[in-house]
Amino acid sequence: MNRFSDFMLPPAKSTTAETTDALFHFINVTSLIFLVGITIAIIFFSWKYRRRSDEDVTPVISHNNKLEITWSVIPLILVMIVFGWGFTGYMNLITTPDDAYEVRVVAKSWLWEFHYETGFVSVNELHVPANRPVKLIMSSDDVIHSFFVPDYRVKRDVLPNRYTSLWFEVTEPGESIVYCTEYCGTAHSNMLATVFAHTQEDFDTWLETAGSADDDMDPVELGEQLVTRNACDTCHSTDGTRLQGPTFQGLWGSEREMQDGEIVVVDENYVRESILEPNARITKGYQPVMPSYAGTLNDRQIDAIIEYLKTLQ
């Protein structure tokens, strides 16, 4: 069964994954048994009762009580088993343990923000303790997204103007991929994140030191890392390629025409406004799809990005 599971499904890395997989396999195996059995019965009866001569006449059969009861009761029993099994699993998935560690999740086109109790915000990287329940409280800043971790067998829509939640408990340290499974625009397929599961001790250490490594970093180097870390390169290239947003190459100091005809020089004020209030002024030829990074990037980080943009001539 383990080999079959490995072939059909990704690794099971949460406490609820085995129950979900068991129901999945039950439905598949039961369906396969019925498929094979019914196919054999069709072939057998087609051969046994084939017409052999013009004198063969099919007898009139009005009904068969035993057969009709059998093909009604057996599916009913199977449906009740699947319903009970599924309902039990569903109740388990929506009942969060009391000792769960909470992480605030904000979905934006096209990235995931994770807010921790210390105030630290990570983008496209979710850090959690293993062997402890984790509750995600999620909302969207723009359109409908969907948070899906195949390894944990958890999936929940993330909606604007409303909170949704899910929980999971990772069984061992490791990494898993987060997908958005609700089409949310042109860069939907790039809306990926990674879950890093740590031991409790390593998680506590990470939480205490998160973000502190940036303090002594050169501003240009920090800016380059922030552009990658915050998924800016999903929409803005650094080599002149046109993506969803203007390329960063040669952007600094250039004149940009806005949709209302205004000509703007790309300087510190313009970059800062574009990061914190991206829809205040939209470059001509582009759509207003950039999310705001207010509350995600502090002043020092914005300054570092500005210093990095200055080097992309």
Q: What is the pLDDT of residue 15?
A: 92
Q: Are residues 138 and 225 in the same domain?
A: no
Rounded to two decimals, the pTM is 0.75
SS3 of residue 176 by DSSP: strand
130: domain CATH number is 2.60.40.420
Weakest mean pLDDT among 1-5, 91-95, 197-201: 1-5
Do 107 and 200 fall within a single domain? yes
Indicate whether 114 and 203 sit together in one domain: yes
Q: Is the pLDDT of residue 212 over 80?
A: no
pLDDT of residue 294: 83
190-279-303 Cα angle (round to 5) = 80
Claim to verify: residue 206 and residue 219 sit in the same structural domain: no
pLDDT of residue 214: 67
Residue 182 sits in the same domain as residue 274 = no
Same domain assignment for residues 203 and 292: no
What is the DSSP pairing of strand 174-180 with strand 164-168? Answer: unpaired
CA dihedral 301, 298, 109, 273 (to 10 degrees): -90
Strand, helix or coil for residue 180: strand
Mean pLDDT of 121-147: 93
CATH at 231? 1.10.760.10
Is the pLDDT at 238 greater than 90? The verdict is: no
| pLDDT of 2 over the 70 cut | no
* Residue 224 domain-assigned (yes or no): yes
Instruction: Please report which confidence band the pLDDT of residue 154 belongs to, taking 50, 70 and 90 as the band edges.
Output: very high
Amino acid identity at 294: A
Residue 106's pLDDT is: 93
Whether the Cβ atoms of residue 194 and residue 174 lie closer than 8 Å to each other: no
Q: Give the model's pLDDT for residue 37.
A: 93
Q: Calculate mean pLDDT across residues 251-270.
A: 87
Number of domains making up the chain: 3
Choosing from 210, 226, 250, the residue where a domain stops is 210
**Quick check: is 57 in a domain?**
no
Q: Looking at the predicted structure, is the pLDDT value of residue 243 above 90?
A: no
Residue 181 has pLDDT above 90, yes or no: yes
Q: Are 309 and 248 in contact (CB under 8 A)?
A: yes
Instruction: Establish if 130 belongs to a structural domain.
Output: yes
**Which residue(s) pair with 112 in the sheet?**
107
Percent of the chain surpassing pLDDT 90 = 42
In which domain, by residue range, is 161 found?
A: 101-210
Query: Of residues 179 and 254, which shows the higher confidence score?
Result: 179
Report residue 155 CA to chain centroid gap. Answer: 7
Q: State whether 137 and 110 are in the same domain.
A: yes
Q: Are 169 and 145 found together in one domain?
A: yes
Among the candidates 210, 230, 248, a domain finishes at: 210
Max mean pLDDT range (21-25, 223-227, 309-313): 21-25
**Residue 58: inside a domain:** no
Query: What is the predicted pLDDT for the residue at 6?
Result: 65
